[in-house]
Structures are given as C-alpha cells and as structure tokens.
A and B are shown apart, each in its own frame.
Chain A
C-alpha cells in the first residue's frame, strides 16, 4: 500500500508502542504506580464501602488518563533535544502523523492499565458492579486523547526539558488537586468548585467518577465527552501549528500563550457550568450518594 498520512500514523504508532514496551520507566509510571495508588487508597479510604471503591477507581482512572500529558510532553521534548525528530523530518512525513501517533499509541497503551484497574477492583476489592462500562470507555478514549494533546502543546512551547518539567508540575498540581481526582470536589469550598469548572481535568474526573459509581446520566456523559472532544480538536491543531522538529528552533515567549488558548473552550464551559449550576448539583448528588445521605439535588448557589 502506498504510504499516506493514515498509514504513516499507524506505522509510527506501532513503533512507539514497541519502544514503550522496552522502557522500564513506562511500566512503572503507567502500570505499577496507578495500581499502587489503588492498593493504597481503597483500603485506607473505602474501608469496604462499595460506592467508595467505585469512586476511588474513578479517581485512579483519572490519574492514569491524565498522566498522558506528562509522558508525551517529556517524550517529544527528549526526541527533539536528541535530534531524533530531525531525522524524521527528512522523511515524507508531516507534523500530523508524528503527533497523531503519539496520541494513538498513548491511548492503546492506557487501555490495558484501565482494564487491569477495573479487574483489580472487581476481583480483589470485591466491587460488585462494573459501573457504566460504555461511558467509562468513551471517557477514557476522549480523555486520553485530550490530555495527550495538551502534553503535545507543552512540548511545543517549551525549549528545554527543565522548562517542560516545570510547566508540567504546575499544570499537574492544578489538575490533581482542583479537579476532584484526589479530593472529592464536593468537599471543597464552593468557590473552588466553581473555579474547577474551568479546568479540563474536572470534566474527566467527574465523568469517570460518575461512570464507575454508575450515577451518570447519558446527558451528563455526553456533556463531559463534548468538553473533552473540543479540547482535543483545539489542542491538536495548536500543537500541530507550533510543532518544531529542530533542537535549536526556540519557541518564542508569545507561543507560551498558546497554552492558554487551548484552555479557551474550558473557559466557555466553565462559564456555562457556573451559569446553569448543573455540574455543581451533579457533584453534590454524587457526593451525597457516596456519603449514604438521601439523594437531594442541592440548588446551585450563585
């Protein structure tokens, strides 16, 4: 078959998976660490409560999926700094297949981790339900692609590995603590909950937690997926435009503002969610369900 962007993307995807399989760090960060979180958090926080096991599973799945942006940005910057991308530049390839293969290979490598995490919860922690598996799969798919694309933007706007790690740490900390992935959002003051609606991680975390606890309605999942899908489109196009093959090609300072541009859709979603109060109500509902309290939908306070 004659090569085209699709076949080139697939060829690169297979090679990237093969390379990852030969990397011990990949196994540690993508499988060992998420499972370690699961084995630590479930006994400590769930204490045998069915809904909490499912909730913690949702949170750990969020961490696994969000990790995409960290791994991909570091890999792309390493390839650029080592001059590996330069060699690929000589081949009849555009930036598109290089970036798309990063996203696709990352997704295909996340799936086994996701399944192992679900199976561990079912078989070892005796979680009785599977949750909403379809919603879960769709959210993992869109979430991994969105966060991988964010990682590619970080790689495109940073000039050195040090800079990449710094920006990653900054973003990761925000995502980790303000999205509900580590602490249930409902436990935060109201203003933090409102701020969290401007973060893409919130849509993934609330989506996955609602899917594992089987509380999400079709409309709610569709809303989370829409937010992530728009995030993918915007972030992929920005990273394609900013992509640099050459180690010495430095990103101008104004390029860093493009990271903020990728957040524009979430600014719109944040305004929408704050205005309607629907997500706020959803978070309260899920939390009350977890706490075993009667399920009332709290009126959003504006």
Chain B
C-alpha cells in the first residue's frame, strides 16, 4: 500500500475556550470513499476544512496529495474539489455561468455541458441561482466541485437538510464517483449514508475519532445485537428492562427505550410479560438490525442525532 492520499495526524483545534479537535488522526487511501460520522459539533467540519486548507490547525499534521493544504496554495487547490456545508453564490448568477466561471480557474477542466447533464441541471442552465430549489443548489455545488476533475473530493454533509428523494439522487452521484475510483472524504450524521456509501468510516465525537473501520467491522463490534426501540404507556426504570432475557444493554432517550438484544424473540416475550405484570402497555415497538448507530450508542451512550 502506498502513501495515503489524505493524512490527518493528531489534529488539534480550539475556538476560544472550545476544543473542536482533540487529536484527530486517520488516513485515506486513493480511490477510497471515507466517511467522518458524528453528531453536530463533533468536529467533522473543522477537520475537513483543515484538510481543504480553509482553517489552520493549532497543532498536528494535515497532508492531501502529498501537499500541505494550508501552504501549497493554488497548486493544491487545482487537485481538489469540495462541497461546503453550505454553498452560496450570487443570486443573479445563472447555473451555466456559475459552472463555466469556476471551470475557467483550473488547468484541468471537465466538460461543463456534460456536467450539467449528469447532474440533471441542463434544463435549469439558464436559471438564476436564487431560483433553484435546495436540491438543485446542492447538485450545482456538487457539479462545481467536479469542474476540475479533482483527485480528491471533500463533501461536507452533502445531503443535510434535503428531502429523502434528493438525498437518494445525491447518493447515486456519490456512488458514481466511487465507481470512477475518486477519493472522497464525506462527513455526515446520517447512518444510512455512511453505511451505504463509505468504504471506511471514522466515528467522531467531541473532537476525537472514537472508532474506525469498514461499516461491517464497526457493526461487528456491536456484538451482533439487534436494536429494539419501544415506547411505553408508563415510564419504567432502565434497570427493569436491562434484566430482560437476551438484553445486553438498555438506555432511555426522550421516552424511547433502546434495547440491544442478542436474542430478540425471547426479549420481546419477556418484555410483554414484564409489562403485563406491571399493568403497563406497549405503545410502539420497532426492531433494527445492527447499524453504526448502535456502535455510536455503545461507545458514547448517546444517539447520533442528540
């Protein structure tokens, strides 16, 4: 294996008294789709922006394509493409003008007409930026990130705030990038996004990488438990449910009891019996196969969306 195309080593960054990064380290190989998964405020954007050369770390090492993002200047920017957490362009700039404008800044340029077609923006090519929907704006941001056919693509929460249909469209685009063997660094707080798109995932919390591996490896760490989420008519103490048959772990999040069970059928039967004996009732019950959310809960005691 050669030198990693993206390297973050012991990155530290403080904003005043707030420690945004507390020693983030990971490496991404060429052609890999790598995800930074974590809740809001975990330090994902700060990490990506350091790697994009937009922020200076207090200490630590950042390397992308063998270059120091902060010091390499335009030579570095020729090699990368990026979608910021929120992209803004002048309201009266037309779609085709935006993409043609940014293409002109690069030595290597993709065919802008094809890009517009690929991102389903050809019908909107003459529209002003202000006339685009949220999904169209995000597709344009993605197209702009690819105008230079970059070696490395940074996508900072590319689907945040978008409706499920647009989100799926963007997943398709990222899957295409994956097939083209582009190196992609993706930040997200959506579990399904990380599981579906990423070759490897680093789970980030409070400015630290708390777990790193392929989604399969990480899920295997959750000991193959099934997550059962129940809502009850009357509250119960956590302890009562934790002692049910097969339950490895039980936590309460805002009125929902999340149980991790090694033997789901037995757990459900035991739960029903327990509720009957305490004259309590089930309001809802949902079962989920092991996911990265479970890994996160096990590691932090919190849910990702908390």
Which of A's residues lie within 8 Å of B, judged by CB? 2-3, 7-8, 11-12, 15, 18-19, 22-23, 79, 82-84, 86-87, 89-94, 246
Chain A residue numbers with a CB within 8 Å of B144 are 87
Chain B residue numbers with a CB within 8 Å of A246 are 54
Which of B's residues lie within 8 Å of A, judged by CB? 52, 54, 73-75, 77-78, 80, 82, 84, 86-90, 92-93, 97, 101-102, 104-107, 144
Known: A3-B106, A15-B101. A87 touches B92 (CB 8 A): no
Asked if A92 contacts B87 (CB within 8 A), the reply is no
Kindly report which residue of chain B lies nearest to residue A91, judged by CB atoms. B105
B160 CB to nearest chain A CB (Å):
15
Asked if B82 contacts A18 (CB within 8 A), the reply is no
Known: A90-B52, A91-B77. A15 touches B105 (CB 8 A): no
Chain B residue numbers with a CB within 8 Å of A7 are 104
A61 CB to nearest chain B CB (Å):
28
A36 CB to nearest chain B CB (Å):
25
Asked if A11 contacts B101 (CB within 8 A), the reply is yes
B13 CB to nearest chain A CB (Å):
14
- With beta carbons under 8 angstroms apart, the residue of A23, A83, A91 that contacts B102 is A91
B148 CB to nearest chain A CB (Å):
8
Asked if A87 contacts B107 (CB within 8 A), the reply is no
Give the docked Cα–Cα distance between A93 and B208 (Å): 32
A243 CB to nearest chain B CB (Å):
14
Asked if A83 contacts B101 (CB within 8 A), the reply is no
A285 CB to nearest chain B CB (Å):
47
| 19 sample A-B contacts, Cβ–Cβ < 8 Å, listed by A number | A11-B104, A15-B93, A19-B92, A19-B93, A23-B92, A79-B90, A83-B86, A87-B87, A87-B144, A90-B54, A91-B77, A91-B105, A91-B106, A92-B74, A92-B77, A92-B78, A93-B74, A93-B105, A94-B73
Give the docked Cα–Cα distance between A18 and B98 (Å): 12
Chain B residue numbers with a CB within 8 Å of A12 are 101
Give the docked Cα–Cα distance between A84 and B101 (Å): 14
Asked if B88 contacts A82 (CB within 8 A), the reply is yes
Chain A residue numbers with a CB within 8 Å of B74 are 92-94
Give the docked Cα–Cα distance between A30 and B97 (Å): 24
Give the docked Cα–Cα distance between A79 and B129 (Å): 14
Give the docked Cα–Cα distance between A89 and B80 (Å): 12
Asked if B78 contacts A22 (CB within 8 A), the reply is no
Kindly report which residue of chain A lies nearest to residue B102, judged by CB atoms. A91
- With beta carbons under 8 angstroms apart, the residue of A23, A79, A86, A94 that contacts B84 is A86
Chain A residue numbers with a CB within 8 Å of B97 are 15, 18
Asked if B105 contacts A84 (CB within 8 A), the reply is no
B37 CB to nearest chain A CB (Å):
23
- With beta carbons under 8 angstroms apart, the residue of A3, A22, A23, A90 that contacts B82 is A90
Chain A residue numbers with a CB within 8 Å of B105 are 3, 8, 11, 91-93
Give the docked Cα–Cα distance between A19 and B94 (Å): 10
Asked if A84 contacts B90 (CB within 8 A), the reply is yes
Chain A residue numbers with a CB within 8 Å of B93 are 15, 19
Query: Across chains A and B, which 9 residue pairs bring their CB atoms closest together, nearest first?
Result: A92-B74, A92-B77, A83-B88, A22-B92, A91-B105, A82-B88, A11-B104, A84-B88, A90-B82
A93 CB to nearest chain B CB (Å):
6
Chain B residue numbers with a CB within 8 Å of A93 are 74, 105
Known: A3-B106, A3-B107, A94-B74. A87 touches B101 (CB 8 A): no
